[in-house]
Amino acid sequence: MNVRPISGASVDASGRGRRAVPALICGVLLLAVTACGGGGSGSGSSGDSKDKGADAAQSKQSEAVVTIAPKNAAKSVDTSGALKVTASKGRLTAVEVKDDKGAVVPGKITTGGTGWTPSTHLAASTKYTVHAVAKDSEGREAAEDSSFTTLTPKNTFIGNFTPEDGSTVGVGMPFSVRFTRGITHPEDVEKAISIKTEPAVDVEGHWFGNDRLDFRPEKYWASGTKVTVKLNLDGVEGRSGVYGKQTKTVKFTIGRNQVSVVDAKTHKMKVTQDGKVVKTLPVTTGKPGYDTWNGQMVISERLRVTRMNGETVGYGGEYDIKDVPDAMRLTDSGTFIHGNYWAGGAFGNYNASHGCVGLQDTRGGYDRGLPGRWFFDHSIVGDVVVVKRSHDRTVDPGNGLNGWNMSWEKWKA
């Protein structure tokens, strides 16, 4: 049988082509180059793989968008109404606002998680930082951080208060604040004053004019009650362009229950402690034309010795008495219960004063055994003195710390 050689290949005597092996090797090399060379179809497959990876990374980002107002690094920001955090395409899960001392500003996330606002005003001249987190429908989180600084007010006010921090006072003592500027935004100011008591009791505030705010319970305080007042007035806009600059915590305790009842007709005063009469003292009250106020009056000031001049209370030159002993103020208009060394035999017999309640005493009050000194030594600021059966009307609730002469309904209104 004859065999035809492949073109270009010689055949030896045995009939086998001498170049057959090299041709096979070249064929194998050609396949190898084709496999590694990255032709058109191979290159397209590698690019699709990279695009899919980018899409997967993109899909991991949250769609939620957190917005913080005011804008980052803002200056002179208003202390009320300017701070807001919102979320779109998601819901807020955490909002933390801190001042430059690390104190947290309280606030609440709205139902549905679309917004957050502070539950109180901000302090003036203070830097705040905000950190907010929101989640989208897939549970992926988005966060935003910001900071800003509040305004520095040109005009400010404070509140002068009574009683003093750490004091023990009588059961009639309200917490009274007198502001150094007239207040035209009373709700904002009142909201900035919080009162907690132990045991708990409802305490409400009442405004007398636009510069005084008193707080009291419905009835006299219970003995032993501990009262904590927080004045968070820093940054409160009390009137247009006038801001509070005061932050103060005041604590006081209610002492034993002492209520003294003056009968202007019998000229006697019964002193009760915890509901029991401990002393009955002869007194003199306002003479005709100068009658003593009726009603519940609270001791607001104690003066061991003072001078009483009719010029200061609108009585001209009718009297000017020095070294008046053991005097305790009952009204802003000048009513006192005090020791009296000049009324002779009036005590327990007839009314001889210009409106005060007088008890027998010595000039300067050196005799501790007389009624004036005894009552002074057994009284504290906040004790109640009730006057009845006088010919004058009931004392005005705002004349001194005498809001007890107003019904609870009117007080709250």
**CA atoms of 238 and 241, how far apart (whole Å):** 8
Which entry of 354, 356, 378, 391 is annotated as an active-site residue? 356
Rounded Cα distance, 305 and 284, in Å: 19
Name beta bridge partners: 66.
87
CA 299 – CA 308 distance, rounded (Å): 17
Determine the Cα–Cα distance for residues 378 and 358; give it in Å rounded to an integer.
16
Cis peptide preceding 199, ω within 30 of 0: yes
36 given a catalytic annotation: no
Name the catalytic one among 206, 267, 338, 354.
338
**Which residue, among 188, 305, 304, has the nearest Cα to 238 in the 3D structure?**
188
3-state secondary structure of 259: strand
114-123: buried (b, 16+ CB within 10 Å) or exposed (e) per residue? ebbebebbbb
From the list 271, 220, 211, 216, the residue with the least C-alpha distance to 242 is 211
In contact, 150 and 235? CB cutoff 8 Å: yes
**Phi, psi (deg, nearest 5) at residue 186:** -60, -35
Phi, psi of 243 (to 5 degrees): -120, 145
* String of DSSP letters for 203-228: -EEEESTTSEEEEE-SSPPPTT-EEE
Place of tokens 């830097």: 127
Tokens of 130: 């905000």
| CB within 8 Å of 139: residues ≥ 6 apart | none
Q: What is the DSSP string of 15-76?
A: S-BTTHHHHHHHHHHHHHHHHHS--HHHHHHHHHHHHHHHHHHHHTS---EEEEESPTTEEE
**Mind giving me the DSSP string for 317-361?**
TS-EEEEEEEEEE--TTS-EEEEESS-TT-TTT---BSS-EEEE-
Cβ atoms of residues 387 and 295 within 8 Å: yes
Q: Which residues are catalytic?
A: 338, 356
